[in-house]
């Protein structure tokens, strides 16, 4: 199976080509909102040239659905649909945050990871992903940080964000001492999206709805301190009594 993956949810866009679970090539670039279509198409053309693969040979197109840059997600979906339409090629969509969390949990010792994003207007979105038996990953529903579905996730999950430049300082203030806070931007890539899509296809899981995951209203609002949910813990950097 030849799988083309497109990812434009974060400040870094990327395209990748996989043969089953084997990465054949990937190109990435800093996202520029006014050039998103041109950047994606130019890098896609270059990737196909470098791998000597024609569009007609591609079996599935995987696309990251966000949450993230709404314009970037729309461009990626439009390109995927344009490539798929002539031959009725399959498009497989999945959350970019899921792909990022799965990549992390398959390589790190933590049992859970929380992906946190910038929903603008001084709000955040967040979702917790957990490692399941059989090298699988499951997700809790997005929740409001003041009233999370699973409060202990705030205390035990590793925290990752693609938007460190914008919200890193806030996360430092919010993270309890028990949290592993990964500093610096951790962005989902097309290779992550493609590999996650391939795993899900092998498991018979359907594509998510082919539409950007759009957080028109905030799904997570930071409390005074996330550490308040962690008994006996304090915010990172606070004085120890």
pLDDT in tens, 191-210: 999 999 999 999 999 999 99
Residues of the chain with pLDDT under 70: 121-122, 141-156, 215-241
- The CATH code for residues 97-186+218-229 is 3.30.420
Classify domain 2-96+188-202 by CATH architecture. 2-Layer Sandwich (3.30)
Would you state the pLDDT for residue 122? Answer: 65
pLDDT in tens, 82-132: 999 999 999 999 999 999 999 999 999 888 898 988 877 667 788 889 898
Q: Where are the domains positioned within the chain?
A: 2-96+188-202, 97-186+218-229
Cβ neighbours for 117, distance < 8 A, ≥ 6 positions apart: 67, 68, 97, 124, 125, 126, 161, 162, 163, 215
The reported pTM is 0.86
Nearest to 116 by CA among 63, 52, 167: 167
Would you state the pLDDT for residue 142? Answer: 61
Would you state the pLDDT for residue 174? Answer: 76
| Residue 150 CB-density burial (10 A; 0-12 exposed, 13-18 middle, 19+ buried) | middle
């Amino acid at each position: 199976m030849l799988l083309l993956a497109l990812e434009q949810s974060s400040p870094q866009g990327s395209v990748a080509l996989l043969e089953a679970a084997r990465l054949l090539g990937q190109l990435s670039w800093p996202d520029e909102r006014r050039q998103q279509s041109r950047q994606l198409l130019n890098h896609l053309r270059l990737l196909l040239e470098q791998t000597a693969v024609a569009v007609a040979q591609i079996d599935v197109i995987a696309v990251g659905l966000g949450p993230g840059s709404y314009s970037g997600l729309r461009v990626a979906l439009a390109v995927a649909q344009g490539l798929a339409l002539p031959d009725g090629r399959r498009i497989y969509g999945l959350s970019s945050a899921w792909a990022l969390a799965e990549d992390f949990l398959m390589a790190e010792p933590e049992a859970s990871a929380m992906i946190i994003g910038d929903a603008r207007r001084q709000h955040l979105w967040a979702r917790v992903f957990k490692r399941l038996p059989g090298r699988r990953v499951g997700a809790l529903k997005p929740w409001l940080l003041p009233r999370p579905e699973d409060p202990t996730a705030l205390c035990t999950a590793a925290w990752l964000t693609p938007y460190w430049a914008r919200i890193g300082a806030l996360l430092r203030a919010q993270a309890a001492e028990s949290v592993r806070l990964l500093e610096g931007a951790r962005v989902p890539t097309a290779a992550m999206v493609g590999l996650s899509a391939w795993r899900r296809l092998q498991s018979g899981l359907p594509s998510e709805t082919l539409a950007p995951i759009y957080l028109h209203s905030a799904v997570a609002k930071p409390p005074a301190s996330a550490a308040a949910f962690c008994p006996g813990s304090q915010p990172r950097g606070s004085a120890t009594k």
